[in-house]
Amino acid sequence: MTIEKVGVVGAGQMGNGIAHVSALAGYTVMMTDISQDALDSAIALIDKNMTRQVSKGAISEDEKAAALARIACTTTLTDLGPCDLIIEAATERETVKQAIFDELLPHIHENTILASNTSSISITRLASRTDRPEKFIGFHFMNPVPIMQLVELIRGIATDDATFNACQEVVDRLGKTSATSEDFPAFIVNRILMPMINEAVYALYEGVGNVSSIDTSMKLGANHPMGPLELADFIGLDTCLAIMNVLHDGLADTKYRPCPLLTKYVEAGWLGRKTKRGFYDYRGETPVPTR
C-alpha cells in the first residue's frame, strides 16, 4: 500500500496539526470541515506554526512554502474520496464519527485506509460499521501534533498486517515514534493519564489541596512539565470527562468513576482554555485558579 495523498477530517486543534505534519513530510493533504471559517483559521494557524519552525531553524522558508502548497481545503467531505489514507479527527463523539465514515464509504477507493484519531473509542466497533474493517486503524496523535513525538497505532480485531505496516511507514515518514496499543478503552496514554487527572480533581473536590498546590506539587514533586489541572484545561474538560466515561463504561470498574466536580465544570461550560475558564480563569493577562 503506497500512501501519497492524506485526507484529514476536521480542521480543529488535532486536524490542523495532522495536516501540518503530513504536508511537511511530503504528503498531498486534503483537509475538510463543515465550516469554511474553521478551515481558514486552520490554514492561518498552520502558517503561523510553520513560521515559528522557520525562525527556530527547524525548517527552511522553501520547505514551509512547499508544505503549505500541498494543503487543499474543502467543506465537502466526499472530496476526500481519492485519498489513500483518511484520518478522522472530529469531535470525540462516536455518533459523529460513525456518520462521517458512513458518508465517506461510497466515495473512496477499494484500497483506501480509514483511520480515527480517537483518544478512547473502540476501533473495532468503529471499523465494524464500515465495509473494510481490515483496512481500519486507530491513528492517535498527541496534542500539539507538530511538537509531540508519539503516535499510538491501535489495531482493531480485524486490522490486517498490510494496513498496520503502511501506517507504521507513515509514522516513520512523519519523523515520529509509534507505540502499538491493543484496542481497549482509552488505549495506553489516556488509560494512564486520565485517571491521574481525575484523581487530581478528586483531591481538589475533597479539599486535599487547592488548584495551585495540586499543580505545584506535581510539577516540582514529580517533575511534570505541567500540573494535572492545568493539563486538563489544555486538553479540554469535556474531553477528559468523555474519556473517563469511556473507561468507566468500558471496564466497569469504580476506580474510573468521573469526579463529580469534573462533571460540574463541564455542565457549567467551563471547559478550560478553549472557553477561557476551567480550573483556571484565562480571561485576564495571567491565568488565575478558580478554586
Catalytic residue positions, numbered: 119, 140, 152, 190
pLDDT tens for 161-215 read 999 999 999 999 999 999 999 999 999 999 999 999 999 999 999 999 999 999 9
pLDDT tens for 122-157 read 999 999 999 999 999 999 999 999 999 999 999 999
Over residues 255-265, the mean pLDDT reads: 98
Over residues 9-13, the mean pLDDT reads: 94
Over residues 23-29, the mean pLDDT reads: 98
Using CA atoms, how far residue 262 sits from 49, 136, 233, 234, 280, in Å, is 31, 33, 11, 14, 13
pLDDT score recorded for residue 92: 84
pLDDT score recorded for residue 120: 84
State the pTM of this model: 0.90
The Cα 70–Cα 117 span in angstroms is 21
Sign of the CA dihedral running 213, 217, 220, 223: negative
Residue 260, SS3 per DSSP: helix
Provide the pLDDT confidence category of residue 285 given band limits of 50, 70 and 90: very high
227 is in an annotated binding site: no
pLDDT score recorded for residue 227: 98
pLDDT tens for 94-104 read 999 999 999 99
Using CA atoms, how far residue 75 sits from 98, 107, 267, in Å, is 18, 15, 31
144 prior amide bond cis, ω within 30:
yes
Number of H helices, E strands in the chain: 11, 10
53 is in an annotated binding site: no
Residue 1 reports pLDDT greater than 80: no
149 is in an annotated binding site: no
81 is in an annotated binding site: no
Q: Which residues pair with 62 in a beta bridge?
A: none
119 is in an annotated binding site: yes
Nearest to 18 by CA among 115, 96, 109, 103: 115
Domain map of the chain by residue range? 5-182, 191-289
The Cα 163–Cα 242 span in angstroms is 28
pLDDT tens for 29-87 read 999 999 999 999 999 999 999 999 999 999 999 999 999 999 999 999 999 999 999 99
Nearest to 4 by CA among 30, 26, 20: 26
11 is in an annotated binding site: yes
CATH assignment of 191-289, among 1.10.10.10, 3.30.70.1290, 1.10.1040.10, 1.10.3720.10: 1.10.1040.10
Residue 27 reports pLDDT greater than 80: yes
What integer best gives the mean pLDDT of the chain? Answer: 96
Q: Which CATH superfamily includes the segment(s) 5-182? A: NAD(P)-binding Rossmann-like Domain (3.40.50.720)
Provide the pLDDT confidence category of residue 93 given band limits of 50, 70 and 90: confident
92 is in an annotated binding site: yes
pLDDT tens for 216-255 read 999 999 999 999 999 999 999 999 999 999 999 999 999 9
Using CA atoms, how far residue 148 sits from 17, 192, 195, in Å, is 10, 17, 21
Residue type, 256: Y
Provide the pLDDT confidence category of residue 158 given band limits of 50, 70 and 90: very high
